[in-house]
Amino acid sequence: MTPYELMGGEPAVRRLVDRFYTHMDEDPAAATIRAMHPPDLATSNEKLFLFLSGWLGGPPLYVERYGHPRLRARHLPFPIDTAAAEAWMRCMGRALDEVVEDTGLRRELYGSFARLADHMRNREG
């Protein structure tokens, strides 16, 4: 089974994304990454849901709608340093803790997200 299936499919991925953006929106420690997003998070929320669906082994919704994600290239305009990557991971880690019940799966996903966040860094520090 894929991580998408193991965590509960579309409803779980939507909850994960919703919780992630709630944490990013409310956590003062995430203010830097929140400022990289538009005031209304609806489009960002939907795009992350579409991306994660495929990335986690579910339907490739993002690719079907937008083509290859080219994540690093799409994030180059934003100053992502270690602090920004860590803030992103803090929000995603909290969301994972709330949504993914299976400890092993949660640990595996945390590692995958940490590698992804590190890959997005494009600034020193």
Domain ranges of the chain: 3-120
pLDDT averaged over every residue in the chain = 96
Are the C-beta atoms of 8 and 101 separated by less than 8 Å?
A: no
The dihedrals phi and psi of 70, each to the nearest 5 degrees, come to 45, 50
Q: Is residue 76 very low, low, confident or very high in pLDDT (cuts 50, 70, 90)?
A: confident
Distance, in Å, from the CA atom of 6 to the CA atom of 12, rounded to the nearest integer, reads: 10
Cα–Cα nearest to 53, from 5, 108, 116, 124: 5
Q: Which of 61, 48, 55 is nearest to 14 (CA)?
A: 48
pLDDT reported for residue 113: 97
23 closest CA partner among 88, 101, 100: 88
Q: Do 120 and 71 meet the contact criterion of CB atoms below 8 Å apart?
A: yes
Taking the C-alpha atoms of residue 54 and residue 124, their distance in angstroms, rounded to an integer, is 30
The superfamily in CATH containing domain 3-120 is: Globins (1.10.490.10)
Q: Which residues contact 60 (CB under 8 A, 6 or more apart)?
A: 53, 54
pTM score, two decimals?
0.94
For the ranges 12-16, 78-82, 89-93, which has the lowest average pLDDT? 78-82
Sign of the Cα pseudo-torsion (84, 123, 46, 16, in order): negative
The sign one gets for the Cα dihedral 92, 117, 26, 42 is negative
